[in-house]
Structure 1
Amino acid sequence: MLLDLDGTLVLSEGVHRRCWQHFFDHWGVTVDEREYRRGYMGRRPADVIREVAGPWAGSDAQAAVRVMTGVALGLVAEVGIVPGAVDLVRLFGDLGVRTAVVTSAGRDWAERVLADTLGIRELVDVVVSAGDVALGKPSPEGYLTACAALGVRPVDCLAFEDSSSGVRALVGAGVRNIVGVATTAPPGELTARGARWTVPDLHPGRVAAVVSGN
């Protein structure tokens, strides 16, 4: 099983939006919600800073990421859990299914959220974070790395993502069985990008009903 983290297992978009706002305020720019969703959400901050035009062009992207990570870690207590997320991971663990989490966030954030917020770190076999790949989502590199570490073919995996860039990454990796979790993007947007099914949350019964019905 392949899982995104932010927006898929945890409700953390508000925290990440505040981190980005800290960055925007530093550079004195305004980014509206539509532009934010299109160019920033679900992507590695370092990729965005290097690729999106702005007054930060040529600045030290990694230094900015370190500052944003510090802001995020200070707000981790505000992160909620997607309903059913913990139960779903535990169910798959009981069934002997190996699990990988592939996130655009850094290692410190991923480990903290998996261990402290969700309490499921021991059930996750592989974590691929922002620093483990050369290119972040929508590049398929993270998911291909996870599949290689799990020793499975992408086509044989069930995957869960909440963002357009994440779904695009899965499709690019060759994953077909994609469940779009409609916490940060509408169902239609996720299916348009390649999600086979969509769910509003991760309650195991809901997920099973949707997946088994197709």
Structure 2
Amino acid sequence: MSNQPAPLPSVPLDRWPPVWTPSAVIFDCDGLLVDTEGRWVLLQEDYLARHGAALDPEARRALTGRAAEIVVLAIAEAVGKDPQLVGRELLEEHRSTIGEKLTPLPGALETLRTIAGVKPVAVASNSPREMLEVKLAELGIADVVDVSIAIEDVAAPKPSPEMYLAAARALGADPADCLGFEDSETGAEAALAAGLQLIAVPSIPGQDPRAPRRLSSLTDAVLADWIAGWGSTR
């Protein structure tokens, strides 16, 4: 029996550009809008190296995009230290760099701002609320995002669909009528399980998110033309 995932069913994004228009749009944050996911992964790798440890490629792939608590447990096991201590050390180091030299990924902020001009927009992130608000403020998009969902807002983080369901509910939209943007396998699993139409834009090497449409970046010209044709529901 094959272990390959079942093919995705036919969806509006099979056609490019689609003839469909979403009623609302939900963005991931780290690794999709801004390069913080890559920096978080590098910080983890540096921490492991300082302790003479490493994660194998499959473990690294599975952890990308997961909640910090899951990452900390895996790293604590690899380095043989108390998870609470590892969590404090890693998160203190990560917090000290959040807000410093945040680099938006190509086309990300332009795409979000254009969409926010015509459709309700949410950001759904496995980040803690405190860190998510810093990122949105530093990126200059806190004023255009209608809803933000952080890890404290749900009982189960991604890959559970709960975060995307909460975002759709807060926007007053049916999940099936929402367009999601994700970069990681973890996030894509969450969005698909919630029933969103999904575009994957992977930015971390080794990530192979499952989605009906994949783009190399948010500078995609067809994407921009498609969005330009959306009618406003503002």
TM-score, normalised to structure 1's length? Answer: 0.81
Instruction: Classify the secondary structure of the residue corresponding to 2:143.
Output: helix
Alpha-carbon distance between aligned partners in 1 of 2:83 and 2:129, rounded to the nearest angstrom: 19
- Whether the 8 Å CA contact 2:122–2:149 is kept in 1: the answer is yes
- Whether the 8 Å CA contact 2:38–2:204 is kept in 1: the answer is no
Equivalenced residue count is 203
Alpha-carbon distance between aligned partners in 1 of 2:40 and 2:222, rounded to the nearest angstrom: 27
Instruction: Classify the secondary structure of the residue corresponding to 2:167.
Output: helix
Alpha-carbon distance between aligned partners in 1 of 2:157 and 2:79, rounded to the nearest angstrom: 19
Matched AA of 2:60: Y
Structure 2 portions without partners, runs of 5+:
1-24, 229-234
**Which segment is superposed worse, 144-153 or 12-21?**
12-21
Q: State the 1:89 CA deviation.
A: 1.2
Percent identity over the alignment is 31
Structure 1 portions without partners, runs of 5+:
none
TM alignment of 1:1-214, pairs within 5 A: 1-21=25-45, 24=48, 29-38=53-62, 40-50=63-73, 54=77, 59=82, 61=84, 64-76=86-98, 77-95=100-118, 97-116=119-138, 118-175=139-196, 177-184=197-204, 189-190=208-209, 193=210, 195-203=211-219, 205-208=221-224
Q: State the 1:60 CA deviation.
A: 5.2
Q: 1:15 to 1:55 in 2, by over 3 A?
A: closer
Return the structure number with greater helix share: 1
Matched AA of 2:167: A
Matched AA of 2:123: V
**Root mean square deviation, CA, Å:** 2.9
Q: State the 1:202 CA deviation.
A: 1.2
- Whether the 8 Å CA contact 2:76–2:86 is kept in 1: the answer is no
Instruction: Classify the secondary structure of the residue corresponding to 1:80.
Output: coil
> Which structure has the larger Rg over C-alpha atoms?
2
- Whether the 8 Å CA contact 1:5–1:103 is kept in 2: the answer is yes
- Whether the 8 Å CA contact 1:43–1:165 is kept in 2: the answer is yes
Q: State the 1:142 CA deviation.
A: 0.8
- Whether the 8 Å CA contact 1:147–1:153 is kept in 2: the answer is yes
- Whether the 8 Å CA contact 1:106–1:131 is kept in 2: the answer is yes
The Cα offsets for residues 139-191 of structure 1, whole Å up to 9 and x where unpaired, read as 1111111111111111000110000111000111111x20000212568x22x
TM-score, normalised to structure 2's length? Answer: 0.74
**Which segment is superposed worse, 126-135 or 68-77?**
68-77
Q: State the 1:128 CA deviation.
A: 1.1
The Cα offsets for residues 91-123 of structure 1, whole Å up to 9 and x where unpaired, read as 11211x11111111112221111111x211111
If asked which structure has higher relative contact order (CA below 8 Å, sep 6+), I would say: 2
